[in-house]
Structures are given as C-alpha cells and as structure tokens.
Amino acid sequence: MIDPTLLSILACPACQGDVTEADGKIICLNPACALKYPIKGGIPVMLVDEASK
C-alpha cells in the first residue's frame, strides 16, 4: 500500500490527472486516459512506457 501522503501528490504523467491505488496499481482517474501504472517493490513506476490500459 502506498502512503496516502505520497498518493496525494502523485499525478498521471500522461495527462496530469489525479490517481488512486487499486489492485496493486496506480490508476489514473481521468476517464479519457485511465492508464494503470505498476507498483514494483512498493514503489510506483510512473512511466508512460510501463503503463497499461
């Protein structure tokens, strides 16, 4: 689980939208984007190349 303080300052690198954590991923809340970023070793990998739809 990602620290809530860290989660509150993270933004989607593709669209700068707000994000949330679910199912072991960081998920962009912008419906037009909705990219899912992996969390590896407890660290969010916020790279567009690593994201999935």
Domain boundaries, the chain: 4-50
Distance CA 50, CA 4 (A): 22
Query: Hey, what CATH topology would domain 4-50 get?
Result: N-terminal domain of TfIIb (2.20.25)
pLDDT, residue 46, reads: 97
pLDDT, residue 26, reads: 98
Residue 1 has pLDDT above 90, yes or no: no
End-to-end CA distance of the chain: 21
Number of residues that make up the chain: 53
Distance CA 15, CA 43 (A): 20
Which tens digits make up the pLDDT trace of 5-51?
999 999 999 999 999 999 999 999 999 999 999 999 999 999 999 99
Strands 25-28 and 19-22 turn out to be antiparallel
Global pTM reads: 0.91
pLDDT, residue 20, reads: 97
DSSP collapsed to 3 states, 2-24:
CCHHHHHHCCCCCCCCCEEEECC
